[in-house]
Structure formats: structure tokens, C-alpha cells
Amino acid sequence: MIRLGSVSNHLVNRNLSKMTLDQISIIILTILSIGALQSVGLSLNLFIRKHHFLACWIGLFGIEIASKVAMQVDLLRPMSQWLGFWLSLDLFYGPLLYLWVQGLLNGKVNRRQLLHLAPAVLVLLQTLSMVVMLGQNGRADHIATVYETGLWTSIHSWLDYIQPYILYHPFFYSALSLATLLRYRKRFNNHCSESLAVRFDWLVSMLVLQLIMWPTVAYIFNSLPISAPNAWLASYIPAVVWINCLAVISLYHHSVIINRVVIPAPNVEAEKDKNALEKQQIRQIENALLKFKDQGIFKHPRLTLDEMATATNIASHTLSQYLNNELGVNFFDYINSLRIEAVKEALMCDNNQATILQIAMENGFNSKSTFNTVFKKQVGCTPSEYRRKRPNSVINVA
């Protein structure tokens, strides 16, 4: 029961009166029961899709809250007491989230990265051994004392030392996961033209919600004017909300969960070459890019910086340096600017009766939402509004 007492010392003296199923308890237990069922279902779904670390995160959470609900209603004792009272899996959630993000972005997780789980495993084993040493009668007496006297008595001073820091651990890993994703997105935009904006935005949103979730857990645990057993159980509700958000994403934004996004490693030469380009080099690059534009290669939906380098016969790190330093844009924005210019030209052509979406797809965009966002950002109006400027225009956006 590590979370009990893990946030603030004043919880030690909170009234942990004997469990009763009052109205608040019933509401909380109902929410957690639904969350447990959802967690198990989503975990199995993700495991089948080979998102093993995220599946473990959600599966372990489902098992943990199911045990707490079972113990609260006096079901499956003494088995439900292990995860319902004695053991907490909070130290697993942060590393599992981080490992999932690493695997999603890089395609795999190496063995060294698995060491992030080591502290959680060690704490779990150490706690388990101490609880086992209490014996069945000792465990029963300890639980009875906690719920009857309202005083939390630790089974070992070692646990008292780590308890105040338990919830900081997953918060730190959520922040680390978010930073990893943002660094990856920046690197992706410097290398690829394929639009993954929706996927990135949703992943960022889920990680931001994780960052919000853990302080919310601490607030509920410390500040809600309800009994300590109810506050303890209610502190798991933010994670249930997060899992529901993830389930919605999995349902309505299928590619966010299913498709893995792999990007080549950073170009070492580009990192080393920090010297300014000479004027002659700049003229050569400008001429090469004019030919590149005339050839229409930018219309390839999954064009990469390496492919552009091959087409222009210019080193990829030199191209990247030119785009970043001379034009002030990354590769993704540069290619999209060429695509938008081609789309604008097509939209104003009287003989072009294709739909706006068809024109966007013909010019390299593979996402309607990304096309609309990029067009509005660069042109200042929507594609439909721009096309209305054409004389005798008939708008077809299908």
C-alpha cells in the first residue's frame, strides 16, 4: 500500500475508519470497476498490435485497481490484499511509458534501456519479502490496525524513506517521454516530408495528460474532503480517465496506435559541419533547387532529405544547412511550401475541375487535415476561400 502515505505525512493521521460502502464509495468503486474492465480489454488489444510496453502499463493498472476494488468489497481475500493493500505498481508505470515511446519512435528497445525497470522490480521484491515475513496472522493484524485505528504503521523504515518520492517517479518519466517525442519530431521535420502531424499531436497530448495526471493524483490524495480509504481509491481515477482518452484515440485515430514511425539516425556529418556556406555553394544549391522544383519531385508524398539530395546531387547535410541557415526553414516546411504553391496554381486554373482534396493529393499531401492546416498557415485563408477568388468558380471540396 505504498501510495498510502506516499504524498504527504499528514495522511498518517487521517481517519481510516473501517471500510463502509457509503454513497461516495459506491461511485468510486463503480468507476474503478469499469476502468479495470476497460484496461484489460485495451491491454489485450494493444498486445495483439505488438505495443507490448503500453499493453503492460494498462494491464498492470487494470489488475491493480481490480485488486483494490475486490479488497474493498471483501472479495477474494486474502489474494486481493496483495495488490489491494500491500503492493503498489506505481514505480512501473513511468518506465513502461518511456519504453513504449522509445519503441514507437525507434522501432525497438535495446536491453540496456530495460534497466529503467530495475528500481521498480527491486522495490517490489523487497516489499514482497518483508510482507511475507509478517506471516498470515501478522498481515491480518496489520490491516485491521490500519482500518480500525486510522494509523498507518509502516512494516519497515526503508519504505518510509522512499514513500514521499513514489509519485514523482512516474511524473519524471512522463516528462522524459514528452521531451524524447519533441526532440524526435524536430529531427523528423528536418529529414522527412511525410505528414505525421496528427499522430505527433495526439501523442504529445497523451503525454501532456500524463504530466497532468500525476499531480492530480497527489491533489486528490491530499485535499479531497472525503475519508482516507475513499481518497486512496479516488486517486486512481485520473489514470482511468487517461486510459479512456487513449481508447478513444485508438478507435478514432487508428494510425496513432497501430503504425510505428521509424526515422533514420541523425546525420553525423551534419552535426559536424557548422561552417557557413560560401556564396558559390549557395548559388549552386539555388540552381539545383530550381531544377528540383521544375521536375516536380516534391510531389512525392514520402519524399525524404536523402532522396532530395540524390535528385539534386548535393549532400544531404549541405542541403539541410542551406534550408536551416539561409532560408530559416526545415525540410518539412520547405517541401510543403513548394506543394502549396503548386496547389495554389492548380486552384486558380480555370480548366482544372478536380476537387480540392484531389489537387492536394496530386501535389504530395497525404492528409486532408494537414493540408488544410499548412495551407491556412502559409496563405492566410482556407483552400475553399482561395479558390473562390477564381472567376466563375464552382467549389468542390469532396
Query: Region 53-60: what's the mean pLDDT?
Result: 93
Task: List, for residues 5-34, the tens digit of each pLDDT value.
Answer: 443 333 433 443 344 457 888 899 999 999
- Residue range 215-257, pLDDT digits in tens: 888 777 677 777 777 777 888 999 999 988 887 776 655 454 4
- Residue 59 is predicted with a pLDDT of 94
C-alpha cell at 154: 509502516
Which residue shows C-alpha cell 524513506? 161
Mean pLDDT of 100-110: 85
> How confident is the model at residue 174, as a pLDDT?
93
pLDDT of residue 275: 59
The pLDDT tens digits for 381-392 are 988 888 888 665
Phi, psi of 304 (to 5 degrees): -115, 170
Residue 113 pLDDT greater than 90, yes or no = yes
| Position 35 confidence tier, pLDDT thresholds 50, 70, 90 | very high
Which residues on adjacent β-strands are paired with residue 304?
A: 192
Q: What is the 3-state secondary structure (H, E, C) of the chain?
A: CCCCCCCCHHHHHCCCCCCCCCHHHHHHHHHHHHHHHHHHHHHHHHHHCCCHHHHHHHHHHHHHHHHHHHHHCCCCCCHHHHHHHHCCCHHHHHHHHHHHHHHHHHCCCCHHHHHHHHHHHHHHHHHHHHHHHHHHHHHHHHHHHHHHHCCCCCCCHHHHHHHHHCCHHHHHHHHHHHHHHHHHHHHHHCCECCCCHHHHHHHHHHHHHHHHHHHHHHHHHHHCCCCHHHHHHHCCHHHHHHHHHHHHHHHHCHHHHHCCCCCCCCCHHHHHCCCCCCHHHHHHHHHHHHHHHHHCHHHCCCCEHHHHHHHHCCCHHHHHHHHHHHHCCCHHHHHHHHHHHHHHHHHCCCCCCCCHHHHHHHCCCCCHHHHHHHHHHHHCCCHHHHHCCCCCCCCCCC
268-387 sits in which CATH class? Answer: mainly alpha
Task: Please report, for residues 68, 147, 236, 240, 253, the alpha-carbon distance to residue 72 in angstroms, rounded to integers and kept in the order given.
Answer: 6, 11, 14, 18, 36
Q: Where are the domains of the chain?
A: 9-258, 268-387
Model confidence at 171: pLDDT above 80: yes
The predicted structure's pLDDT at residue 141: 80
| Ranges 166-170, 270-274, 339-343: which has the least confidence | 270-274
